[in-house]
């Protein structure tokens, strides 16, 4: 059924479009309710059940001034949702026997074996226990946009603690390290590998950096909340581990950084993935079906099972959040990233409220993508409202 609804909230009129299975109308209503009761500007959500898209809707505006309608092909940066997409893609190498997760990183990247990292395993990078959550060399402002510079700094740096012992969310550095392993093995940059092996086979619209002029024109503006978030803490707690994670960022307001050409075009595989909700939902729907969709197989079911095996359940040290952590992906964690009633659900949220998730028992893939970033450390009420509606229907 076609969606063509309108809602007025706080004197602003919002248009909603898309398609949905009538049985899933409660999900559409939950999506629209966000505009009535939350600080929504623009968003999209897609639900895939056993390979079939049952909800694919969007609404609101792609700019903070509310002048440009969100459209079917609008893309948005979903922040750390990129970690889940990058992690799934990295597991393709494991599936093909090109990487052993229990091998030292230095097996594939010999120069990495410096300053106590000789025994640091690939698995430690995938589950955030590598002890390299920040780049201690302050380098220069805007170095975050220079992936190879960050990689060289991490190559020389000593771990902050014994690898494999303590979890600390690698806000940006996980993507740098995994990306260099990918480059050493395949000769491809991480964004290209992700495109060639995951995005293109499924015919999706998602990229890590690399936005063209055409992409820029359809990209939603991120509208971050600063007060009460990590963006404020990095300034108010300058000696914290969290603040050190932003040493290489530009010295400018975060809303400028996140909408800049540098952010949209650079290789920051843990944070700057831009795409549509339908693309992220399709990826998770594929993994929820054991790694295949139609005649496309991304990885074998046994690799998916291994990928979704819990590696640890720790309170990570960057933001003091508990996580059930799998191999490059998060597992359902009530306090931090709620993904419905099934403890076997998996996925990754992005700072500000976006999420991608799958449920291997119900064979669900779901994504919610937004441009108004909330002031919460978890994935918040907007995604939760949609997820709850899905489980009421199924």
Cα 54 to Cα 71: distance, rounded to the nearest angstrom: 18
Q: Which of 199, 216, 213, 211 is nearest to 62 (CA)?
A: 216
> Of 74 and 243, which is predicted with more confidence?
74
What pLDDT score was predicted for residue 22?
A: 98
Question: Starting at the edge strand that comes first in sequence, how are the strands of the sheet with 321-325 ordered?
Answer: 2-9, 12-20, 52-60, 42-49, 364-370, 355-359, 346-349, 330-331, 321-325, 312-316
Residue of 202, 380, 389, 391 whose CA lies nearest to 279: 202
Q: How large is the average pLDDT for residues 220-228? A: 87
46 alpha-carbon distance from chain centroid: 15
User: What token pair was written down for 116?
Assistant: 């106590």
DSSP state of 3: E
Contact 253, 260 (CB under 8 A): no
pLDDT at 230: 63
Strand partners, 75: 219
Question: pTM (2 decimals)?
Answer: 0.97
Q: Chain-wide mean pLDDT for the chain? A: 96
Cβ pair 184, 340 in contact under 8 A = no
Q: Return the structure tokens found at 202.
A: 């499924």
Edge-first strand order for the sheet with 76-77 is 76-77, 273-275, 206-208
299-323 residue pLDDT tens: 999 999 999 999 999 999 999 999 9
d(CA 247, CA 143): 9
Domains, the chain, ordered by start:
2-87+199-393 (3.40.710.10)
Contacts for 76 with CB less than 8 Å, ≥ 6 apart: 42, 44, 62, 219, 220, 222, 274, 275, 354, 369, 370, 371
């Amino acid at each position: 059924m076609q969606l063509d609804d309108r809602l007025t909230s706080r004197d602003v009129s919002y248009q909603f479009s898309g398609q949905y299975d009538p049985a899933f109308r409660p999900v559409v209503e939950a999506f629209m309710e966000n505009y009535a009761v939350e600080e929504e500007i623009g968003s999209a959500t897609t639900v895939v059940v056993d390979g079939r898209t049952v909800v694919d809707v969007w609404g609101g505006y792609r700019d903070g001034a509310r002048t440009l309608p969100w459209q079917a092909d609008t893309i948005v940066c979903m922040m750390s949702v990129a970690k889940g997409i990058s992690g799934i893609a990295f597991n393709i190498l494991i599936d093909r026997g090109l990487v052993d997760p229990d091998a030292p990183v230095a097996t594939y990247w010999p120069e990495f074996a410096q300053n106590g990292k000789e025994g640091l395993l690939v698995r430690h990078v995938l589950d955030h226990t590598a002890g390299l959550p920040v780049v201690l060399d302050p380098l220069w402002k805007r170095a975050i946009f220079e992936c190879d510079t960050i990689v060289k700094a991490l190559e020389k740096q000593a771990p902050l603690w014994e690898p494999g012992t303590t979890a600390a969310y690698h806000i940006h550095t996980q993507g740098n390290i995994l990306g260099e392993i990918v480059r050493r093995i395949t000769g491809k940059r991480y964004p290209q590998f992700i495109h060639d092996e995951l995005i293109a086979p499924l015919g999706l619209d998602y990229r890590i950096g690399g936005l063209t002029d055409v992409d820029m024109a359809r990209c939603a503006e991120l509208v971050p909340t600063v007060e009460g978030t990590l963006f404020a803490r990095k300034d108010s707690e300058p000696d914290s581990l969290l603040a050190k994670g932003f040493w290489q960022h530009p010295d400018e307001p975060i809303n400028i950084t996140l909408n800049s050409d540098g952010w949209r075009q650079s290789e920051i595989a843990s944070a700057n993935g831009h795409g549509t909700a339908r693309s992220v939902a399709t990826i998770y729907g594929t993994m929820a079906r054991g790694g295949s969709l139609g005649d496309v197989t991304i990885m074998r079911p046994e690799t998916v099972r291994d990928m979704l095996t819990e590696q640890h359940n720790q309170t990570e040290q960057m933001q003091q959040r508990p996580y059930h952590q799998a191999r490059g992906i998060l597992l359902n964690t009530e306090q931090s990233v709620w993904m419905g009633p099934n403890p076997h659900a998996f996925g990754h949220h992005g700072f500000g409220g976006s999420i991608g998730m799958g449920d291997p028992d119900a064979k669900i893939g779901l994504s919610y993508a937004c441009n108004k970033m909330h002031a919460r450390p978890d994935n918040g009420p907007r995604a939760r409202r949609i997820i709850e509606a899905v489980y009421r229907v199924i």
